[in-house]
Amino acid sequence: MEPLDRSTRWPYDEQGELREFHYQRFGSPTVAAAEEALGELDGGTALLFPSGAGATTALVLSVLAPGDTIAVAEGGYYGTGLTFAALAHWGLRVVEFDQTGAPPDGVQLIWLEAPTNPYLTMPDLEAAAAHPAPVVVDATVATPIQLRPLEHGADFVLHSATKYLAGHDDALLGAIVCRDATTADELRTFRSNTGIVAAPDAAWLLLRGLKTLELRVKRQAETAALLAERLRAHPAVETVRYPGFGGLLSFDVADAETARKVETSTRVIVNATSLGGVMSLIESRARWEGERVPPGLLRLSVGLEDSETLWADLEQALG
């Protein structure tokens, strides 16, 4: 493994000039190594931030001006809406649109999610790329193993690296991967000056996670596909949402009470929020999102446990 360097400062060179790394807020070796690895996976220039929400904040403040409008995919991660709402008094405006079609005119940024959490819809990347505004794709759930949005005309990829990329539920981290190197430089300067900077420890955990990303995602997708198929055939399950790849799915049971009973009855699958880790997690989303989701909607993040063990756990919880 690459070494973990926690230093906040590095000596100037023999002539008293700056070396590549001098003060951690401007850049550090472990963060830079993780950015290099992620940039290669996504085919762009990656920058790390202390969380996915922090990456969202930094990008919006860096590329937009007061009065600008973001067209955001409806049914996407509810927390992104909360981040935008927190920036409303700086003049940020937001309109929701159906990302399976073309984005509306007159917006300055397009915010897609591939696929949405927890509705699992995929964006029309071609229609978005044809729009004059820059396009951000939150590909947290797809990961670069399943989708490389920059190859489909996106300008920025956003990851909650907390999820699949780090992969073990022990690092909070976000990333923006930029198609254009000059834009990346501007965002890096904005990051240094505003201090929205990722810690080396989290970056090191990301580096480690990336080494197994492909294996994990493939296995999680295989298991998720199997569980989705069996859930579709289960009499207590009404709707199953699974885009056909990746490790995240959602399904509806009759009502909120049934959902609460199912999520508190699993023994292997942990009743907790988040997704993308090696352990399977289940939760009713209405506790967070209220009426934005059906009351019986359960989100299941499939981990690396044996698929038959997971199915047996779901079956007994649904029964």
Mark the segment that binds ligand PLP (CB under 6 A) among 37-45, 72-80, 257-265, 297-305: 72-80
Residues 92-131 that bind ligand PLP (CB under 6 A): 113, 117
Print burial letters for 252-278: b (CB count within 10 Å at least 16), e (below 16): bbeeeebbbebbebbebbbeeebbbbe
CA distances from 15 to 8, 9, 19 (A): 21, 17, 10
Contact call for residue 43 and ligand PLP (CB under 6 A): no
Contact call for residue 57 and ligand PLP (CB under 6 A): no
Contact call for residue 146 and ligand PLP (CB under 6 A): no
Interacting residue with ligand PLP among 59, 114, 165, 172 (CB under 6 A)? 172
Our CB check for ligand PLP shows the closer of 44 and 52 to be 52
**The residue count for the chain:** 319
**Beta strand pairing status for 93-97 and 109-113?**
unpaired
Residue 33 CA to residue 2 CA, distance in Å, equals 8
Our CB check for ligand PLP shows the closer of 84 and 251 to be 84
Residue 54 CA to residue 83 CA, distance in Å, equals 9
Interacting residue with ligand PLP among 140, 266, 280, 284 (CB under 6 A)? 140
**Count of residues in contact with ligand PLP, rule CB under 6 A:** 15
Token pair, residue 297, equals 């909607």
Mark the segment that binds ligand PLP (CB under 6 A) among 21-29, 46-54, 103-111, 263-271: 46-54
Interacting residue with ligand PLP among 5, 22, 27, 79 (CB under 6 A)? 79
Residue 303 CA to residue 157 CA, distance in Å, equals 24
Contact call for residue 174 and ligand PLP (CB under 6 A): yes
Contact call for residue 73 and ligand PLP (CB under 6 A): no
> Tokens 């201090």 identify what position?
195
Contact call for residue 162 and ligand PLP (CB under 6 A): yes
Mark the segment that binds ligand PLP (CB under 6 A) among 13-21, 51-59, 231-239, 263-271: 51-59
Contact call for residue 77 and ligand PLP (CB under 6 A): yes
Our CB check for ligand PLP shows the closer of 158 and 318 to be 158
Cα 7–Cα 10–Cα 15 angle in degrees, nearest 5: 175
In the complex, the smallest distance separating the C-beta of residue 20 from ligand PLP, rounded to whole angstroms, is 27
Contact call for residue 313 and ligand PLP (CB under 6 A): no
Q: What's the Rg (C-alpha) of the chain?
A: 20
Kindly list the residues in this chain that would bind ligand PLP in the complex (CB under 6 A): 51-53, 77, 79-80, 113, 117, 138, 140-141, 160, 162, 172, 174
